[in-house]
Amino acid sequence: MNANPVDIPADAAPAQPMIEVAPSPHLADPHQSTRRMMVDVLVALAPVALAAVYVFHWHAVRQILICVAACTAAEALFARLRGRRAPLDDCSAAVTGAILALSLPATAPWYTALIGSLVAVGIGKALFGGLGMNLFNPAMVGRAFAMISFAGALGAAGYQDPHSRIDAITQATPLTAWQQSGVVADLADLFWGTTNGSLGETSALACLVGGLYLCLRRTAAWQIPVSMLAVAGLLSLPATGFDPSGWSALHHLCGGAMLFGAFFIATDPVSASTTPRGQLIFGALIGFFVFVIRTWGGYPDAVAFAVLLMNMAAPTIDHYTQPKVFGARETKDA
């Protein structure tokens, strides 16, 4: 039955706004923008970058400038090829470049940083549709590609330069020296950052300061680094113990890219798990694979490969760790 239309008086009260129905989440923080999160990461990376410049001098500055500039240019290039505006104002390209640079050794040739940056943005991000749709951590895609393609430049010998005037670059990395010769690095050197290695893995203190800042700002989920470090430390206890005179569990945690990866790489909000339980599982499995590859694998450090492996598993982890919807009841088939 059709109702006759009714004229609404001009002075009548305005109608109530319609209820909008949209997918979750329905509660959002207007201050938690992509740009703000990326700026937080850049601020947190500042102590790590300063420690790298202090140890490696111009070598660190060169790598950071090349990677940040190349990632920014690649972001603009691939956006133009897709007919879109280059999203440079969100600072995501700068974050990708900074993390990639800090994951490379100081003596890596310039072309490894350039090609790694192009791969990180082109294959790691643009190929999947851009920021927010990438399955893998873009910086680690570039790092893994450079490591596999330029094994001589990024292998154990790639971290050393016997002709350098900087003492750290003339030494083997602590993990390489321990695995190949049984030489144990001083735990204090690993903590303060006066050892060789990738730019971002030398100073454990700098990684802790920046990582705690990210967790306090809630830019990074604390569950991921806590579970990753806990599992890696516990697995190394039976073989090493806490004896500082030998290669201990603390050496495992402070050496290599463990802390840098736990706070700055594994916590990527796009490629990591998003549920609270899933983040604990995600971080724990990264710690497990890092320990396994370090102990029995062919690479001295394995954070990049462990993170990429778990990036593939993140959607499955989220699927099986979804929290129960409030008020929902489980139904059983009759």
**Cβ neighbours of residue 113 under 8 Å, at least 6 residues apart?**
63, 66, 67, 70, 100, 101, 104, 146
Mean pLDDT for 197-220 is 92
* Rounded-to-integer distance, Cα 270 and Cα 252, Å: 27
pLDDT of residue 120: 95
Pick from 151-165, 217-231, 305-319: least confident: 151-165
Are the C-beta atoms of 65 and 115 separated by less than 8 Å? no
pTM score of the predicted model: 0.83
pLDDT of residue 194: 84
Average pLDDT over the chain, rounded to an integer: 84
Beta bridge partners of 105: 198
User: Tens digit of pLDDT for each residue in 262-310?
Assistant: 999 999 989 999 999 999 999 999 999 999 988 887 777 788 999 999 9
Residue 94, number of CB atoms within 10 A of its CB: 21
pLDDT of residue 329: 66
pLDDT of residue 324: 76
Quickly state the pLDDT bin for 214 (edges 50, 70, 90): very high
User: Tens digit of pLDDT for each residue in 257-266?
Assistant: 899 999 999 9
Could you say which DSSP state residue 198 is in? B
Quickly state the pLDDT bin for 318 (edges 50, 70, 90): very high
Most confident segment among 10-24, 91-105, 233-247, 315-329: 91-105
Mean pLDDT for 180-202 is 84
pLDDT of residue 246: 73
- CA dihedral of 178, 180, 181, 184, whole degrees rounded to 10: 0
CA–CA–CA angle 136, 142, 145 (5° rounding): 105
pLDDT of residue 119: 95
User: Tens digit of pLDDT for each residue in 28-39?
Assistant: 555 567 888 999
Q: Is pLDDT at 5 greater than 60 in this prediction?
A: no
Are the C-beta atoms of 70 and 118 separated by less than 8 Å? yes
Ramachandran angles phi, psi of 257, nearest 5°: -95, 25
Q: How far is CA 123 from the centre of its chain?
A: 16
Most confident segment among 85-99, 157-171, 233-247: 85-99
* Rounded-to-integer distance, Cα 155 and Cα 145, Å: 13
* Rounded-to-integer distance, Cα 13 and Cα 309, Å: 59
Domain 35-319 classification at class level: mainly alpha
Max Cα-Cα span within the chain: 93
pLDDT of residue 35: 85
Q: Residue 253 carries which side chain, given as an amino acid letter?
A: L
Q: Identify which has the larger pLDDT, 133 or 299.
A: 133
Q: Identify which has the larger pLDDT, 20 or 181.
A: 181
